[in-house]
Structure 1
C-alpha cells in the first residue's frame, strides 16, 4: 500500500461515502471502480478510503499495482509474504490464487487493484472470491457493467483549500494574492494533481509569488516545471507529473482517436456541440466518429459528456492534445476545416437576431471567439471579417454594446493589417464600428467613421453600389439622431433612389430607407408625407420577412408613433401591442427594442381617457 503525502484531504467527503455504499451493496462480491482521467485523484481516494475504513476490513487490506505485472502472481506473492501461506507449487497460477482466497485470514477483506487497464486481465482471479472480499479498482477506463464511481475535478473552493493546505507554513501568501490563487486553480482546471504539484512547488520556492507562477504557466503551459513531479516529492501518492500522467492514456489511442482528440483541442475551453465536430470532419463516417468518441476518448476519461450532444475537454487535457497536435500530419488541415465551420456559423448570425437565434448560436460563440483570437491565420482573406462580425452581432443584437465593441475594433485592426487601408472590408469595418457608436449615442465618434466608410466605398466601388446606398443611409440616420434634419433628408432621398435603382422595389434595404425617411418626416411634423412611407415600409417588411420578424415590430412601432403623435390613439394602440408581442417573443423581455415599445405603449395608455363605467 502506498504512503499518502496529503497534508489535508479535501473536497472528496461525499465520494468517500458513495464509495463505501457501492462496496457494501452487493451481498456476494462488490466490485467498485474509481474511474477518471489521469491526475484526478483515483489512487488517493482509494488510499484515503482504505485508511478511514481499516476497522471495517478486519480481514486486512491487500493493495496490488495492476500495471506492474500479472495480478495473480502478485496475489500469491502477497499471500506468501504477508500471510505465510504456501500454495502448492504444482498448481497453475489460477489454482494457486484460489487456494490463497480460501485460506485468507478471517474477516472482511479489502482488495485494491490500482490502475487497472482492462478488466479481462483481472477477471479470472476474482470469479472465485468469497463474499467477504470487497474489490476496489482504480482505472482510467470505463469497465463496462461494473459499478463505477466516476471522479470529477474538485469544486473551486475545495481546490483552493487544497492549495492552502500545501502552503500552511506561510498562509499569508494565499491571503495576499487570493484572487490570483483562485485564478491559478481555475487555470489548472481544478485538477487535484495539478493543484498539488503547483502547491508543492510554491512551498519549495518561498520567494515565488502566485502571480509569477501563473504567468509562467500561461507562457510555458504543460512544459512548466511546476507541473512535473520533483524527485524530492517522495511522499506524493501520485507517481507522475501531469504530462506523464496524460501520456499513459495517449499511448493507448489509435491514430484516428488521436486525430479526434487534437481536433477537439482546437475548440475553446468550453462545452462543444458535437454537430460542430461532425461538420469539421464531414468526410468521416458519423458512426465511426461516435465509436471513437464513446469507446476511446470517453472510455479513457479523456473527454466528458456535458449534456445531450455536448462534450468538453478538461483545460489541461486540451493543452495536452494541443501539445500533441504539433506532431500530427493533418493538423493544418484540421485547423482550416475548423475555421471554415466557424465562419459558416458567423455568417448565420443576422444583424437583428431573434431570441431563438441567440439561444441556438450561444453554444458556438466561445469557439467562434477562439478562432478570432488564436486561429485567424487560417481564415481566408475573403472570410476574414466574418469571425469578428459574427461575435459582434451576437452581442449587438442583444443590446450588449460594450461586449460588441472589442470585436468591431479588432475587425478594423485586423482587416487593415492584412488587407491594407483601402479595401471594401475596411470600409465595412469602419461602418460597423460607427453603427455601434451610433447605438451608444457616441455621435462625435461615429460621424468621422461613417464619412470615411462612405468615401472609401465611393472610391473602391463607384457611386452606384448597394454599399454606397447603405453608407448614405447610415450617415443620414446619424444626422437625424442629432436633429440635423436638413443634412439628413437629401442623404435619405439619395439612398432610397439608389437602392430602388440597384435592388428593385422589393428588397429589405428599400423598406429600411422608406422607414427612415418616414421617421425624418415624422420628427419634423410632416405627418402627411410620413404616413404613406411608413405604411409602405410595414407592408414591404411583412411581405419579405414574414409577420414575426423583429423588423416588422420596428415598422409597427414607428407607424404607431406617427398615429400617437396625431392623437389617433385607437389606431396607435393595437400597433404598439402587436409590436410588443413580437419583440417579447422574438427578442426577449429585456431587449432594448422591447423596452422602448413597452414604454411607448405605457405612455399612450397614460394619456387615454378612462373607460366609461
Structure 2
C-alpha cells in the first residue's frame, strides 16, 4: 500500500549493497510512475556510462543496445513505483545473470515474479523509527502518548516519518496535543501533509493513497467506501455480502480481489476474512463523506447488513454461536459508535441488545454493562421517556444488575419497565409477562417468596393465554414457579412443574440446549433436597456436561453445576471428589462475577461446609464469617441466605463447644427463617433441630425435646418418611431418649433412622456408621439391663 515504505526500503538496500561493493556494474534507479522508462534508461547509459548509441535505432533498439553494452559486473536496476507492468516489461534488462532487477509496486504481479510483501511495522519498530526523528528523551517522557501516535497511523512508516518530522520542528508541542489534532482533523492534519527535503516520499499520506484511489473503477470505489465504514478489525466477508445483498457475490469477489486486494488496499488475513489498514480506512471514510450521491445509500446498506448480526445472538447463546459471532462484534460496536444516527427507529436498540446478549451469555457482565446503559440513553434520546424500546432497555439493564447481584439497583428499573409496558402495551402482552416474571425472580432471590408467587402465577397464565400451551416462555415460567415451590419446601408441587418444563424444553428446543440443561439441573436439585441422591447425580452430570459443551469451560452456569455436583458428593461422604469441584467453581465465579457477589458467597459457604465435614475447623471458620458478612452487605440483614450463614456459623461454634457463641446465632437464624419462610419449611425445621441439639449437649433436655419433636414432625410432613434429614432428626431424638435412659424408645428411633440411611446412603456412609454405632450401643445397654 502507499506509504508503507517500499521506496525507502529499496533505497536503503541499494545503499547498503553499494557500500559493500556488491554491484561493481553500478546502480540504476528508474522512476516508473508517469515517466518514460526507455528515455531514462538511454539517458542513464549516455550520461553515466558514456555509451554512444548508433544512429538509426528506434526506442526499443536504443534500450536493447544500452543493456547490451553495460559495464561488466553485477548491476542493480531499481524500477520504483510500477503501476503498469506491461508498460515497463519490454524495456527490462535481458536474461543475463549480471542484471538484478528490483521493482517497488502496489500490484500483485503473480507467481512468476518473486515478491516480498511489505507489512506495517511492529509496535517496537514503530517507536524506534519515531525515536530516530524526535529523540529518546521526548519518546520516553511521553511513552503512552507516543504509542498512541504510532497506533493512530497504524505503524505506517510514511505516517510515522511525517509525524516525527513535524514534532522535530514543533518542539513545544506535546504528543498529546498532536493526538488531539489528529483526532479532530484526521488525514487533513498538517502533520500528515507537510513534506521536507531528505524524505524519500514526496507525498503526504492522503496524497499517496490518492494515487491508488484514482485507479479504481466507480464500483470498486463504492465497495471501498463501504469497507471504510467497518471497524479496525478483520471483516468476515459474509457481512459485506449481507450489506450488498442485491449484488452478485461473484462480482463482489472480483471487485475485492482485482480492484482492492491487488492494489494492496485490502489484505486477506484468513479464509473469507479481510482487513483494512487503519490509515486506508480513514482515507476511505473521507471518500465516503465526499460522495453526496451514493454516500447515504451506502450508509443505509451498511446499517441494514450489520444490524442483522443481532438476530444470530439469542438470549442464551451457546459457545458455537459465541465463536461464530465473535468476529462480527467489533463491527456491531462500530455501528453504534459511528453510525447510530443512520439506524431506523425499528432497528435502533437491536445492536445494543445483540452486544449485551453476547457478553452476558459468557458471564462477562462488566463488559455488557456500558452497552446496556448506552442503549437506554439512546432510546430516550430518540423516543423520549415513554416508549416500548425504552421499557425494553430498562428491563435489560435491570436484568444485568440482577445477574451481578445488585438487587437494589435492579428493582426500580424493573418497576419502571413493568409500569411503562402496562401503560403502552396493555395489561396482557408477552412483554408485560416478561416484566412480571423478572420482578418475581428478583423477589424470589431476595427471599420475598410471598410477593414473588402471585407474579409468577400471573406471568405463567398470561404466557399460556398469549403464546399457547407449548412455548419456550411458558416452559421458563413453569420452571421459575417450580423453583419457588422448591425453595419453600413445597416439593410435591414443584416436581410436576419441573417435569413439565423439562419435557416442553426438550420437545421445543431439542435435547442439547442451555434451557434443557437448566431444567435438568433444577430437577436434580429437587431430588437432592429430597435425599434422592442416586436420581440427582446423573442429572447433575448431564447438566454439567451439556453446559460445558454448549457454554464453554468458564461460565456462571457451569460453576453452578460444579457446585451442585460437589454437594451430592459431599452428602455421600465423597469429600476428595467434592473439594476440587468447589475450588473450581469458586475460582470461576470470582473471575466472572467479581469477589463481591451473592453467588461467590454461596461458593465460600459450600467450601466452608466441606472443611467442617472433614474436621478442618480452622479453615472453615474464616470462610463462614466471610460468607455471613458478604451476605449481610449484599442482601441486607434479613434474607434466607443470611439466616443460612448464621445457622452454619452457629453449627461450627457448636462443634467447637463454643456454645455461648452458637446460641444467639441459632436464635437469630430461627427467628429470621420463621419470619421469611413461614412456620412450616425445611429450613425452619433445621433451625429447630439445631437449637434443640445445642440444648441437648448442655443438658437442657426439657427445652430440647419439644424442639426435636416439632422438627421431626415438620420434616416428615414436608419431606416424607424417607429422607436423610428425617433420619438425622430421628437419630437426634433417639440420642435424647438414650441419655435419659429411655432405651426402648431410643432403640426404635435409631432403628428407623438406620433403615432410612441404609436405603438412601448405604452402609459405608459416615453418618450411617454413626447411627449404627448408636443403635448397637443402645441394644447393648438394653441387654445389660435385662441381664
What TM-score do you get using the length of structure 2 for normalisation?
0.72
Q: Do residues 229 (structure 1) and 189 (structure 2) align?
A: no
Question: Which residue is equivalent to 1:382?
Answer: 346
Q: Do residues 318 (structure 1) and 320 (structure 2) align?
A: no
Question: Which residue is equivalent to 1:80?
Answer: 46
Distance in structure 2 (CA, Å) of the matches to 1:612 and 1:72: 100
Q: Do residues 96 (structure 1) and 96 (structure 2) align?
A: no
Question: Which residue is equivalent to 1:200?
Answer: 165
Among candidates 218, 242, 249, match of residue 255 of structure 1: 218
User: In terms of mean alpha carbon deviation, does 373-382 or 579-588 score higher?
Assistant: 373-382
| 1:472-497 deviations in Å (ceiling 9; x for gaps) | 11000001111111111111111111
Question: Which residue is equivalent to 1:13?
Answer: none
Count of aligned positions: 573
Q: How does 1:484-495 map to 2 (within 5 A)?
A: 484-495=448-459
Shift of residue 609 of structure 1?
4.6
Q: Do residues 63 (structure 1) and 49 (structure 2) align?
A: no
Distance in structure 2 (CA, Å) of the matches to 1:160 and 1:126: 38
The 8 Å contact of residues 550 and 582 in structure 1, kept in 2 or not, is answered as yes
Distance in structure 2 (CA, Å) of the matches to 1:549 and 1:266: 36
Instruction: State the 4+ residue runs in structure 1 displaced beyond 4 angstroms.
Output: 609-613
Distance in structure 2 (CA, Å) of the matches to 1:177 and 1:588: 41
Question: Which residue is equivalent to 1:570?
Answer: 534
Unpaired segments of 5 or more residues in structure 1?
Answer: 1-36
Question: Which residue is equivalent to 2:482?
Answer: 518
Distance in structure 1 (CA, Å) of the matches to 2:476 and 2:421: 20
Question: Which residue is equivalent to 1:158?
Answer: 125
Q: Do residues 111 (structure 1) and 85 (structure 2) align?
A: no
Q: Do residues 184 (structure 1) and 149 (structure 2) align?
A: yes
SS at match of 1:150: coil
Shift of residue 305 of structure 1?
0.6
Higher helix share: 2
Among candidates 89, 111, 115, match of residue 148 of structure 1: 115
Q: Do residues 501 (structure 1) and 462 (structure 2) align?
A: no
Question: Which residue is equivalent to 1:28?
Answer: none
| 1:384-403 deviations in Å (ceiling 9; x for gaps) | 11011011111011110011
Distance in structure 2 (CA, Å) of the matches to 1:88 and 1:296: 43
Q: Judging changes above 3 Å, is the alpha-carbon distance between structure 1 residues 612 and 149 closer, same or farther for their aligned structure 2 residues? A: farther
Distance in structure 2 (CA, Å) of the matches to 1:69 and 1:175: 44
Distance in structure 1 (CA, Å) of the matches to 2:96 and 2:425: 86
Distance in structure 2 (CA, Å) of the matches to 1:303 and 1:89: 48
SS at match of 2:262: coil
The 8 Å contact of residues 209 and 283 in structure 2, kept in 1 or not, is answered as yes
Question: Which residue is equivalent to 2:637?
Answer: none
Shift of residue 89 of structure 1?
3.0
SS at match of 1:266: coil
Shift of residue 507 of structure 1?
0.8
Question: Which residue is equivalent to 1:172?
Answer: 137
| 1:151-206 deviations in Å (ceiling 9; x for gaps) | 010001100111111112xx322112111111111111010000111011111101
Distance in structure 1 (CA, Å) of the matches to 2:550 and 2:408: 32
Question: Which residue is equivalent to 1:469?
Answer: 433
Question: Which residue is equivalent to 1:423?
Answer: 387
Distance in structure 2 (CA, Å) of the matches to 1:176 and 1:277: 43
Q: Do residues 338 (structure 1) and 305 (structure 2) align?
A: no
Shift of residue 127 of structure 1?
5.7
SS at match of 1:149: coil
Among candidates 380, 402, 412, match of residue 448 of structure 1: 412
Question: Which residue is equivalent to 2:363?
Answer: 399
Question: Which residue is equivalent to 2:233?
Answer: 270
Shift of residue 347 of structure 1?
2.2
User: In terms of mean alpha carbon deviation, does 477-486 or 594-603 score higher?
Assistant: 594-603
Q: How does 1:350-389 map to 2 (within 5 A)?
A: 350-389=314-353
Distance in structure 2 (CA, Å) of the matches to 1:517 and 1:146: 71
Shift of residue 213 of structure 1?
0.5
Among candidates 305, 318, 333, match of residue 268 of structure 2: 305
Q: Do residues 348 (structure 1) and 312 (structure 2) align?
A: yes
Question: Which residue is equivalent to 2:690?
Answer: none
Among candidates 287, 295, 304, match of residue 258 of structure 2: 295
Shift of residue 593 of structure 1?
0.6
Distance in structure 1 (CA, Å) of the matches to 2:243 and 2:422: 39
Shift of residue 128 of structure 1?
2.5
Larger Rg: 2
Q: Judging changes above 3 Å, is the alpha-carbon distance between structure 1 residues 199 and 127 closer, same or farther for their aligned structure 2 residues? A: closer
Distance in structure 2 (CA, Å) of the matches to 1:81 and 1:68: 22
Distance in structure 2 (CA, Å) of the matches to 1:129 and 1:227: 42
Distance in structure 2 (CA, Å) of the matches to 1:403 and 1:431: 18
Shift of residue 68 of structure 1?
4.4
SS at match of 2:139: helix
Higher relative contact order (CA 8 A, sep 6+): 1
Distance in structure 1 (CA, Å) of the matches to 2:304 and 2:214: 30
The 8 Å contact of residues 243 and 306 in structure 2, kept in 1 or not, is answered as no
SS at match of 1:134: strand
The 8 Å contact of residues 102 and 130 in structure 1, kept in 2 or not, is answered as no
Unpaired segments of 5 or more residues in structure 2?
Answer: 575-761, 765-787
Shift of residue 301 of structure 1?
0.7
The 8 Å contact of residues 312 and 321 in structure 2, kept in 1 or not, is answered as no
Q: How does 1:475-486 map to 2 (within 5 A)?
A: 475-486=439-450
Distance in structure 2 (CA, Å) of the matches to 1:284 and 1:502: 41
The 8 Å contact of residues 141 and 299 in structure 1, kept in 2 or not, is answered as yes
CA RMSD of aligned residues (A): 1.3
Shift of residue 433 of structure 1?
0.3
Question: Which residue is equivalent to 2:248?
Answer: 285
SS at match of 2:316: coil
Shift of residue 517 of structure 1?
0.8
Distance in structure 1 (CA, Å) of the matches to 2:233 and 2:12: 32
Distance in structure 1 (CA, Å) of the matches to 2:295 and 2:482: 54
Distance in structure 1 (CA, Å) of the matches to 2:241 and 2:51: 57
Q: Do residues 583 (structure 1) and 586 (structure 2) align?
A: no
Distance in structure 2 (CA, Å) of the matches to 1:284 and 1:495: 46
SS at match of 1:152: coil
SS at match of 1:311: strand
SS at match of 2:30: strand
| 1:85-131 deviations in Å (ceiling 9; x for gaps) | 01113111111111111211110000001111111111112263422
Shift of residue 348 of structure 1?
2.0
The 8 Å contact of residues 556 and 575 in structure 1, kept in 2 or not, is answered as yes
The 8 Å contact of residues 101 and 130 in structure 1, kept in 2 or not, is answered as no
The 8 Å contact of residues 229 and 239 in structure 1, kept in 2 or not, is answered as no
